[in-house]
Amino acid sequence: MTDTIIKVDLKRSAYENENIHNRWHPDIPMAAMVKPGDDFKIECVDWTGGQIKNNDDASDVRDVDLTQVHFLSGPVGVEGAEPGDLLVVDILDIGTFDDSQWGFNGFFSKKNGGGFLDEHFPEAQKSIWDFNGMFTSSRHIPGVEFAGMIHPGLIGCLPSKELLNNWNTREKELYDTEPDRVPPLAALPYVDTAHMGRMKPDEAKIAAAEGARTVPPREHGGNCDIKDLSRGSKVYFPVYVKDAGLSVGDLHFSQGDGEITFCGAIEMAGWIHLRVNLIKGGMEKYAIKNPIFKPSPITPKYDDYLIFEGISVDEQGKQHYLDVNVAYRQACLNAIEYLKKFGYSGAQAYSLLGTAPVQGHISGVVDIPNSCATLWLPTDIFEFDIKPNADGPTKFLDGSVTMPLAPDIK
């Protein structure tokens, strides 16, 4: 049997587990060592460390402490790995815990994290999703069921000291351009809630002062939220420190491209089965700066889509120049308005776009001044027909089922 080299206890705080950390730093000790060719399993808590509960109260989403996240299992050292190598990681399998067959999706308050559409959805809401084998449905969003594509939202290797300093410098420079912005432009180091794995307390406090937060993706991988990194995927990670230091967490049962609600997938605790190998000197051989990967050959089979376009003209009618962010935002908003015609609330439609196997595409970035982005919504996930017809939309839902909302505390 394959060994589980990192285990978690969902009834205990992630801070009590020395094989978990929530910052990136080159001096975090390895939680386990493996050899090239080895396969092993790693267990993971959900990205918030259990802060969000399976109930109908969204106050936990409103009050979530985002300085704690993400809780990652690792780092796992690979014997013989050196800076400049490529760490080859095969995702052999990934799954849920038998006693934790549920996940959550949420919108953070604009005052505490925000999200892609926080101007339209500024207050905290959440939806709970129950797992039934490979399928999921929500008591908060009726009329829809879909197959999950479980994947790690966050996986990567430890940075070198030079790379860490580079991250901190450039992100602080960005933050300083608008330091009072809500939500902030960057998540800077924060000592009080840092968990540095097996580091000794005095060393951990020093390291935490410069330890990078896990919020964004960076050159080493990190929080990329790529839904196609599922069973059968192969990832090539740049190695920046001796032994590589592979960490993983933020498991998702399903996610739409873009993870647009920020807490935007179906977040879950679970396990992942990996195999590692090395390509010596691979970074230079292949001119790799950021990870590259082969997607999973196993994907939910949805062949019929409604495709919503967006262009780089914002909600106020302002023209932007080839701005893909604005264009994808408009595609999402167009899809939300469309789904409201069938009885969904705006919040239910927003949550659905973040959790279902929605595809996002950059369709055009050359035709000045408008880029074009598209959102592909699979129609087969609905219990009713959402395609346009001459008779107009039928309002299948009566609004009696809602998503929990937690208004900001004044």
Amino acid 299: pLDDT: 87
Question: Taking 90 as the threshold, does the pLDDT of residue 203 lie above it?
Answer: yes
Last-in-domain residue among 249, 264, 294? 294
299 occurs within a structural domain: no
Q: Is residue 348 part of a domain?
A: yes
Q: pTM for this structure?
A: 0.96
3-class SS string, the chain = CCCEEECCCCCCCHHHCCCEECCECCCCCCCEEECCCCEEEEEECCCCCCCCCCCCCCHHHHCCCCCCCCCEEEEEEECCCCCCCEEEEEEEEEEECCCCCEEEEEECCCCCCCCCCCCCCCCEEEEEEEEECCEEEECCEEEEEEECCCEEEEEEECCCHHHHHHHHHHHHHHHHCCCCCCCCCCCCCCCCCCCECCCCHHHHHHHHCCCECCCCEECCEECCCCCCCCCCCEEEEECCCCCCCEEEEEEECCCCCCCCCEEEEEECCEEEEEEEEEECCHHHHCCCCCCEEECCCCCCCCCCEEEEEEECECCCCCECCCCHHHHHHHHHHHHHHHHHCCCCCHHHHHHHHHHCCCEEEEEECCCCCCCEEEEEEEHHHECCCCCCCCCCCCCCCCCCCCCCEECCCC
User: Is residue 222 in a domain?
Assistant: yes
39 and 156: one domain?
Answer: yes
Q: Do 282 and 329 lie in a common domain?
A: no
Judgement on whether residues 283 and 311 belong to the same structural domain of the protein: no
Asked, for residue 199, whether it belongs to a domain, the answer is yes
On whether residue 300 sits in a domain, the answer given is no
Residues 121 and 214 in one domain: yes
pLDDT higher than 90, residue 259: yes
Residue 116 belongs to what domain range? 4-294
Q: In the predicted model, what is the mean pLDDT of residues 325-336?
A: 98
Residue 313: which pLDDT band, with cuts at 50, 70 and 90?
Answer: very high
| 167 domain residue, yes or no | yes
Average pLDDT over residues 107-123: 94
Q: Does the residue 321 lie in any domain?
A: yes
pLDDT surpassing 90 at residue 264 = no
The model's confidence at residue 410, banded by pLDDT at 50, 70 and 90, is confident
Same structural domain, 48 and 184: yes
Residues 324 and 246 in one domain: no
User: What pLDDT does 128 receive?
Assistant: 98
Residues 95 and 216 in one domain: yes
pLDDT band at 192 (very low <50, low <70, confident <90, very high): very high
Q: pLDDT averaged over the chain?
A: 97
pLDDT at 1: 85
Counting the structural domains of the chain, the total is 2
Q: What is the CA radius of gyration of the chain?
A: 21
Of the three residues 234, 260, 294, the one that is the final residue of a domain is 294
Q: Do 320 and 208 belong together in one domain?
A: no
- Asked whether residue 380 falls in the same domain as residue 260, the answer is no
**CATH (domain of 132):** 2.60.120.580
Percentage above 90 pLDDT, the chain: 97
Report the pLDDT averaged over residues 241-249.
98
Residues 79 and 192 in one domain: yes
Does one domain contain both 251 and 391? Answer: no
Q: Which of 294, 317, 345 is the last residue of a domain?
A: 294
pLDDT on residue 382: 98
Residues 34 and 123 in one domain: yes
- Tens of pLDDT, residue by residue over 144-185, are 999 999 999 999 999 999 999 999 999 999 999 999 998 899
Residue 123 covered by a domain: yes
